[in-house]
Amino acid sequence: MSTITTEALSATTLLRFATAGSVDDGKSTLVGRLLHDSKSVLVDQLEAVERASASRGQEAPDLALLTDGLRAEREQGITIDVAYRYFATPRRRFILADTPGHVQYTRNMVTGASTAELTVVLVDARNGVVEQTRRHAAIAALLRVPHVVLAVNKMDLVGYEERVFAAIAEEFTAYATELGVPEVTAIPISALAGDNVVDASARMDWYGGPTVLEHLETVPVSHDLAHCHARLPVQYVIRPQTAELPDYRGYAGQIAAGTFRVGEEVTVLPSGRTSTIAGIDLLGEPVDVAWTTQSVTVLLADDVDVSRGDLIVPSKDAPATTQDVEATVCHVADQPLTVGHRVLLKHGTRTVKAIVKDIPSRLTLADLSLHPHPGTLAANDIGRVKIRTAEPLPADSYADSRRTGSFILIDPGDGTTLSAGMVGESFAAPEPVTDGDDDGWDF
Amino acid sequence: MTTVAKVTGGGEGTDSPYALSHLDALESEAVHIFREVAGEFENPVILFSGGKDSIVMLHLALKAFAPAAVPFSLLHVDTGHNFPEVLEYRDRVVAAHGLRLHVASVQEYIDRGVLRERPDGTRNPLQTLPLTEKIQSERFDAVFGGGRRDEEKARAKERVFSLRDEFSQWDPRRQRPELWNLYNGRHAPGEHVRVFPLSNWTELDVWQYIAREGIDLPEIYFAHEREVFSRSGMWLTAGEWGGPKDTEPVQTRLVRYRTVGDMSCTGAVDSDATTLEAVITEIAASRLTERGATRADDKLSEAAMEDRKREGYF
C-alpha cells in the first residue's frame, strides 16, 4: 500500500499510447504486467479475474479477462473492440488503447493509433519481423504516431542473446524509417519473466537502454510547437447577451495545433476575413498565449462574421482551401465505400457534403503494394481516394498536422462512420509496387 | 498571465513547457466534448445525480460556456431513496446557477403500478424506464452522463458519443469507431446520443480536480458518524427505504461514501478522511475499485453493468 507516495497525487503529464500485436506475441502478458507491476490492478478486479479463470479451469489468472469487458468477448475468448486502460506512476498518467489482434484488426488499430503519441509493436524474438509486424509498422507510419517502441519479446526463449535482438531491431528500424516513422526505440524484453518491462533485466547486461515503463515515463509528449501551423477550429460562439456583457462575442474551440498570441493577425477561413486577437480566455483565466491542446475562447478586435465550422489561423500561415481533397482513408464500416458515393465529410468542426470521385488504388499493408482502381473499399481496407466537397475546406496535409489533416466520412442516410481520412501522401517515401494479385489481403 | 520560456523540445525526462498537466489535458478534452454537443445538438441535457462525477460535469460545463450560461438543462432520476444531503445539494446548485431541472421519479412509477419494487429493495435497475421515457417525452437528443471507462469493464468499451435507439438501448457491437477527436453525433429522429465527457478520467483524477478547482461537494463524501448495518459486505444506511432487517444489527460508525446512488445499494466505507486531502490520500492507497467497494448492483453478475447498459441505463 505504501508504494503510492504523495508524488502520485501531484500534477503529472499524460501519455496516450497503443499496443499492437497478437495474443501469441505476448501482448496480454505485457499489458497485464505493466498494469500489475505498476500496482494498477486493484484487489477486487484481480479477484474477479481469478474467479472467472478458475471457473473455466485455468490454473493461473488470465489477465486478458481484465480488458475483455463484454459478455460475448468472455464467452468466445476474443476481444471485439478497443479497450481503454488507465494506469499511473509517480511520473506520469497513461491511457492505453489496447487493440485486439484479429477481429476487425486494421480498423481497431487505426482507431487506437489516431489518438496515440506512442505505439508499442510486439514481436516474438523467435520469429523476428513477420508480415504482421510490417502491417503494424505501416499503420503507425500511416497514422503518424510520433514514437514507436519495438518490444522484442520472449528473449528468455532465445537465451537472452544480443545478436538475435540486434538483428530484429535493425531490420525493423530500417523498414520503419523507410516508411517515415520518426523514432524507433527497440527494447529486448521477456513479458513473462519481467525482463525490461518495469525493472531492468539482470540477464541482458549488454542492453543499456530504458525498460518499457521507463521509456513510457520519459518520452516527450509535446513537440516543438514553434514550428507547427497554428490552427483553431471554432466550435461554438459564446454570446452571453446580458446587461453586463451586451456585446461579448467569444469564439470557443480547442487549439488543434501550434500557439496563438494576443495581438496576432489572424484570418478566418474559409471566408478569408482578417482581424487581430484582442484577448484569449483560458477557461476563466485571461492569458497572453495559448497552445495545443488547450480549450480556449478567443476574442477578436473586429466585428467579423465567425461561426461554428470556421478555422482561425495566423494570417501569415494560412492553409490553402480546396474543394478537391486527395487522401488516404481507412474504411471502418461494414458497408463498402464506392466511387460516386455521396457522403458527409467532418473536418475539424465543419461538416460538409461531399462525393467520392475516384478510388485510384488500394494498399496492401504487409508489402505496401498498390492495387489500382479497386472501385470499392470494404471494411478494414486502406486506399487512396479523391473527394469533391460542396464547400471549400482549409485542410492541412496530415503529415503537417494530425488534427487538421484528418477527417471522417459519414453516411448521410444512417449516420454510420464510414472512413477515417488523412489528407495528402500516405508515407514519407512511398515505393509503389503494382501488384495485380489480390490474395495477399487477408484481414 | 502566462509567460512561456524558450521551447526546449522536451528531452529525457523533462517535458517541454507546452506539455499540459494531466488534469489540464483531461479538462480541455471534456470542455471540447461539451462544446461539440452544444454546436451539433438541439436539446441536450446533463444527467445530474448530485454525485461527484455529475458535479464535476456541471463544473466543466460552467467553465466551457462562461461568461454565458450553460446551454443545457439538468435531469435527475429520483429513485425515491436519495440521501437527503444530496437532494439539498442538488436544489442549492440549481438555484445558484439559474438552471432548469427535470426530475424523473421512480417512486411515481411505483405508485402508478408501472414498476414493481424488487424483493431485494434495490431501485437502481428501476431507473431505466423513467429515464428513457423522460428522454422521449422531453425530446432530449444528447444526454450527458458522468460514466468513466475506469469504473467498470463494460464501460471501458463505451464510446464518448454513444448512439442509443428509441428504446435507449446500447448495442456494443454496433458502436461507431471514434477517430482523433472527430465525434460523430448523427442520429435518426427518436434516437439520441449518450455523451461521456469524463470517459478518460479515473476516480483519482476526479478527486484531484475537485481539490484543484475547490468544488463544493455533499457532506456524505467526507467521514462522518452514521447509523449503518452490514449487508453483502457493505455498510448500508439505516432508513425508511427498507433496511435493516431484524437480523441486521445497526451500529454507529465513522464512514464516508465513495459513490452516491440509491441508498438501498450504495455502501459506505470506513474512513476518517474529513478533508479533500485526506480523501485523496485514502483513494490513492486504496486497493479496491470504487464500484467494487460500494455498489451492490454491480455484484449481481459478471455482466450486470453490461446488461443494464444495453437496456438503457446510464
DSSP B245-310: -TTS--EEEEEEESS---TTTB-EEE----SHHHHHHHHHH--S-HHHHHBSGGGS-TTHHHHHHH
pLDDT score, position A193: 87
pLDDT at A273: 96
Do A69 and B9 count as a contact with CB atoms less than 8 A apart?
no
Side chain identity, residue A191: A
| Residue ranges of E strands in A270-381 | 273-282, 285-287, 289-291, 295-300, 311-314, 322-331, 337-338, 342-347, 350-364, 369-372, 376-377
| DSSP tag of A175 | H
Provide mean pLDDT across the span A114-122. 95
pLDDT score for B13: 42
Contacts A–B by Cβ distance under 8 A: 237
Query: What average pLDDT score do residues B106-121 get?
Result: 87
Lowest average pLDDT, out of A3-7, B174-178, B181-185, B206-210, goes to: A3-7
Q: How confident is the model at residue B81 (pLDDT cuts 50, 70, 90)?
A: confident
- Say how many Å lie between the first and final Cα of chain A, rounded: 44
In this complex, which of B26, B177, B286 lies closest to A111 when CB atoms are compared?
A: B177
Give residue B6's pLDDT band: very low, low, confident or very high (50, 70, 90).
Answer: very low
Query: Which one of A4, A12, A84 has the shortest CB-CB distance to B21?
Result: A12
pTM score, whole prediction: 0.90
Please report the domains of chain B, with CATH numbers, ordered by start residue: 22-204+304-311 (3.40.50.620), 219-300 (no CATH)
**Does pLDDT of A431 surpass 90?**
no
Give A95's contacts in chain B (Cβ within 8 Å).
200
Cβ contact, residue pair B306, A70, below 8 Å: yes
Is the CB of B275 inside 8 Å of chain A's CB atoms? Answer: no
What pLDDT is recorded for position A8? Answer: 45
State how far the Cα of A238 lies from the Cα of A250, in Å rounded to an integer.
5
Phi first, then psi: what are they for B96, rounded to 5°? -60, -35
pLDDT at B11 over 50: no
pLDDT over 90, % of chain B: 54
The arithmetic mean of pLDDT across residues B268-296, rounded, is: 79
Contact between A368 and A434 under an 8 Å Cβ cutoff? The reply is: no
Q: Is the pLDDT of residue B46 over 60?
A: yes
- Per DSSP, the three-state class of A123 is strand
pLDDT at A258 over 90: yes
Phi-psi region of B214 (alpha: psi -120 to 50; beta: other; left: phi over 0): left
User: What topology is assigned to A322-423 in CATH?
Assistant: Elongation Factor Tu (Ef-tu); domain 3 (2.40.30)
Tell me, yes or no, if A253 comes closer than 8 A to chain B by beta carbon: yes
- Across the interface, do A415 and B163 touch by the CB < 8 Å criterion? yes
B59 CB neighbours in chain A (<8 A) are none
Q: Do A42 and B31 touch (CB under 8 A)?
A: no
Q: Measured between alpha carbons, how far apart are the two ends of chain B, in Å?
A: 40
Residue A7 confidence class, pLDDT cut points 50, 70, 90? very low
Confidence band for B14, pLDDT divided at 50, 70 and 90: very low
At residue B155 the predicted structure's pLDDT band, cuts being 50, 70 and 90, is confident
Burial class (CB in 10 A: 0-12, 13-18, 19+), B242: middle
Q: Is the pLDDT confidence value at A14 over 60?
A: yes
In whole angstroms, give the CA distance from residue B170 to residue B182. 21
B1, pLDDT greater than 60: no
Is the Cβ pair B292, A45 closer than 8 Å? yes
The mean per-residue pLDDT over the stretch B309-314 comes to 68
**Domain range summary for chain A, segments of one domain joined by +:** 11-218, 232-314, 322-423
Residues of A in contact with B35 (CB under 8 A): 235-236, 252-254, 295
Phi, then psi, of A243 in degrees rounded to 5: -60, -40
**Residues A137/A131, Cβ–Cβ less than 8 Å:** no
Interchain CB contact of A238 with B (< 8 Å): yes
A68, A78, A238, A382: best to mutate for the B interface, most B CBs within 10 A: A238
Distance of CA B119 to the CA centre of its chain: 26
Which pLDDT does position A103 carry in this prediction? 57
Interface contact A371, partner B, CB < 8 A: no
| Region of poorest pLDDT, from A107-116, A156-165, B63-72, B111-120 | B111-120
- Other C-beta atoms closer than 10 Å to the C-beta of A355 total 15
Mean pLDDT of A187-192: 94
Contact call for B7 and A224, based on CB within 8 A: yes
pLDDT tens column, A359-380: 999 998 888 889 999 999 999 9
Domain A232-314 identical in fold to domain A322-423: yes
Among A7, A81, A91, most B C-beta atoms within 10 A, so best to mutate, is A81
Please judge whether A1 and B287 are an interchain contact, meaning their C-beta atoms are less than 8 angstroms apart.
yes
CB of A393 less than 8 A from some CB of B: no
From the candidates B72, B186, B187, B282, which should be mutated to test the interface with A, based on the most A CB atoms within 10 A?
A: B186
Whether A332 and B177 lie within 8 Å, measured CB to CB: yes
Average model confidence (pLDDT) across chain A: 87
Write the CB contacts of B119 (distance below 8 Å, at least 6 apart in sequence).
Answer: none
Element (H, E) at B143: strand B142-144
- Considering Cα of A164, then A168, then A171, then A174, what sign does the dihedral take? negative
Give the separation between CA A251 and CA A297, rounded to whole angstroms: 5
- The candidate with the shortest Cα–Cα distance to B34, out of A415, A410, A95, A235, is A235
Highest mean pLDDT among B168-182, B195-209, B234-248, B284-298: B195-209
Q: Which helix (H) or strand (E) holds A87?
A: strand A83-88
A310 close to A269: Cβ distance less than 8 angstroms: yes
Contact A135, A172 (CB under 8 A): no
Rg (CA), chain B: 20
The pLDDT tens digits of the residues spanning A306-360 come to 999 999 999 999 999 999 999 999 999 999 999 999 999 999 999 999 999 999 9
What CATH number belongs to A11-218? 3.40.50.300
Q: Measuring CA to CA, how many Å separate A120 from each of A18, A19, A219?
A: 6, 5, 13
pLDDT band of residue B241 (cuts 50, 70, 90) is low
Measured between alpha carbons, how far is A427 from A370 in angstroms, rounded to an integer?
Answer: 13
Distance of CA A373 to the CA centre of its chain: 28
1.10.287.810, 3.40.50.300, 2.40.30.10, 1.20.1600.10: which CATH number matches A232-314? 2.40.30.10
Confidence at residue B131, expressed as pLDDT on a 0 to 100 scale: 93
The residues facing A372 across adjacent strands are A361
A157 contact B CB<8A: no
- Mutation pick from A86, A237, A403 vs chain B, by most beta carbons of B within 10 Å, is A86
**Using CB atoms and an 8 Å cut-off, which of residues 215-274 of chain B contact chain A?**
none
Instruction: Give the pairing of strands A285-287 and A273-282.
Output: antiparallel
Mean pLDDT rounded to a whole number for chain B: 85
CA A11 from centroid of its chain's CA atoms: 24
Exposure class string for A132-164: b at 16+ Cβ within 10 A, else e = bbbbbbbbbbbbbbbbbbbbbbbbbebebeeeb
CB contact, 8 Å: A352 with chain B? no
Q: Hey, how many other C-beta atoms are within 10 angstroms of the C-beta on B143?
A: 26
Q: Which residue of B has its CA nearest to A279?
A: B1
Could you report the per-residue pLDDT of A142-186, keeping only the tens digit for each? 999 999 999 999 999 999 999 999 999 999 999 999 999 989 999
Residue B179 to residue A293, Cβ atoms within 8 A: no
The strand pair at A350-364 and A311-314 is best described as unpaired
Q: Residues A392, A323: contact at Cβ < 8 Å?
A: yes
What is the grid cell recorded at A29? 502478458
Identify the pLDDT of residue A74.
60
The pLDDT of residue B169: 84
Measured between CB atoms, does B151 come within 8 Å of chain A? no
pLDDT band of A2, cuts 50, 70, 90 = very low
DSSP secondary structure, A194-262, as one string = TBTTTB--SS-TT--S--HHHHHHHS--S--GGGSPPBEE--EEE----SS-TT--EEEEE--BSEEET
- Judge whether residue B292 has pLDDT over 90: no
